[in-house]
């Protein structure tokens, strides 16, 4: 059985993985739309990419996940 430190670390790791995956997904969607508009001759301005997740973002999601699993 895992100790509490391992469980917390696993939760932080999972929160980081989720947020980084979401970042890459949103970035690809924005870039794909930009290049599609550019190919169509619409002359779009390059979009602002989403913000990469910070430790605060990761910690907030991990805290939310912890609250969810801790509630009975």
pTM, to two decimals: 0.86
Q: 57 burial class (0-12, 13-18, 19+ CB within 10 angstroms)? A: middle
pLDDT in tens, the chain (72 residues): 688 899 999 999 999 999 999 999 999 999 999 999 999 999 999 999 999 999 999 999 999 999 998 886
11-to-7, 26, 34, 35, 51 alpha-carbon distances in Å: 6, 23, 35, 36, 21
């Amino acid at each position: 059985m895992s100790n509490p430190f391992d469980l917390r670390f696993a939760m932080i790791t999972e929160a980081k993985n989720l947020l980084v995956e979401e970042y890459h997904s949103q970035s690809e969607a924005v870039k794909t739309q930009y290049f599609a508009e550019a190919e169509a001759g619409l002359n779009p301005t390059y979009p602002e990419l989403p913000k990469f997740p910070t430790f605060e973002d990761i910690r907030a999601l991990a805290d939310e996940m912890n609250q969810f699993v801790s509630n009975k």
